[in-house]
Amino acid sequence: MSEKASPRRTAVLTLGALGVVFGDIGTSPLYAMRESALAAGGAAPAPEAVLGALSLIFWALMIVVTLKYVIFIMQADNDGEGGVLALAALAHRSPGLGRWTKTAIGVSAILGLALFYGDGMLTPAISVLSAVEGLGEGGPQFEPLIMPLSLIILIGLFVLQSRGTDRIGKLFGPIMLVWFVTLAILGLAAIVKAPMILKAISPSYAVALFVDKPWIAFVSLGSVVLAVTGCEALYADMGHFGRLPIRLAWLVISLPALLLDYFGQGAELLMNPKLAPLAFYSIAPSWAHYPLVILATAATIIASQAVISGVFSITRQAVQLGQLPRVEIRHTSVTEAGQIYVPRSNVMLCVGVVLIVLIFKSSNALAAAYGIAVTGVMAISTLLVAIVARRQWRWNMIAVVGLFGTLGVIDLSFLASNALKIVEGGWLPLLVAAGVFVVMDTWRVGRRMHLDKIKDSSLALPLFLARADKTPHRVSGTAVFLVPRLGVAPSTLLHSMKHYKVLHERIVLATVVVENKPFVPESRRVVVEKSGKGFYEVRIHFGFFENLDVPKALTLARPQGLVIDVDTTTFFVGRETLVAGEHPGLKNWRIGLYTWLASNALAPARYYSLPPNRVVELGAQITI
Q: What are phi and psi of 607, to 5 degrees?
A: -65, -40
Which of 353, 369, 370, 292 has the alpha carbon at shortest distance from 151? Answer: 353
Residue 426's pLDDT band, with cuts at 50, 70 and 90, is confident
Give the other-Cβ count within 10 Å of 226's Cβ: 26
Which of 539, 462, 534 has the alpha carbon at shortest distance from 503? Answer: 534
CB 241 within 8 A of CB 250: no
CB-based burial label for 86 (10 Å; 0-12, 13-18, 19+): buried
Q: pLDDT averaged over the chain?
A: 87
Give alpha helix (H) positions in 255-341: 255-271, 279-282, 289-320
Dmax (CA) for the chain in angstroms is: 94
Reported as a single tens digit per residue, the pLDDT across 181-197 is 999 999 999 999 999 99
CA angle 68, 69, 71 (to 5 degrees): 75
Q: Taking residues 327-351, what's their average pLDDT?
A: 79
Q: What are phi and psi of 519, to 5 degrees?
A: -140, 150
Reported as a single tens digit per residue, the pLDDT across 70-86 is 998 888 877 777 778 88
| Buried residues in 193-204 as b, exposed as e (16+ CB within 10 A) | ebeebeebbeee
CB 180 within 8 A of CB 31: no
CB 478 within 8 A of CB 506: yes
What is the Cα–Cα distance from 569 to 571, expressed in whole angstroms?
6
Reported as a single tens digit per residue, the pLDDT across 443-461 is 988 888 888 887 777 788 8
Q: Taking residues 353-362, what's their average pLDDT?
A: 90
CB-based burial label for 147 (10 Å; 0-12, 13-18, 19+): middle
Residue 1's pLDDT band, with cuts at 50, 70 and 90, is very low
Side chain identity at 98, as an amino acid letter? Answer: G
- The dihedral through the CA atoms of 125, 436, 314, 404 has a sign that is positive
What is the pLDDT, as a whole number, of residue 4?
Answer: 53
Give the DSSP letter string of 404-448: HHHHHHHHHHHHHHHHTTIIIIIHHHHHHHHHHHHHHHHHHHHHH
Reported as a single tens digit per residue, the pLDDT across 528-579 is 999 888 899 999 999 888 889 999 999 999 999 899 998 889 999 887 777 7
Which of 247, 229, 254 has the alpha carbon at shortest distance from 19? Answer: 254
Reported as a single tens digit per residue, the pLDDT across 574-618 is 877 777 776 666 788 888 898 899 888 888 889 999 998 899 888
CA angle 164, 70, 231 (to 5 degrees): 50
Instruction: Domains for the chain: give ranges and CATH numbers.
Output: 7-444 (1.20.1740.10), 457-623 (no CATH)
Residue 210's pLDDT band, with cuts at 50, 70 and 90, is very high
What is the Cα–Cα distance from 279 to 92, expressed in whole angstroms?
44
Q: Taking residues 47-73, what's their average pLDDT?
A: 94
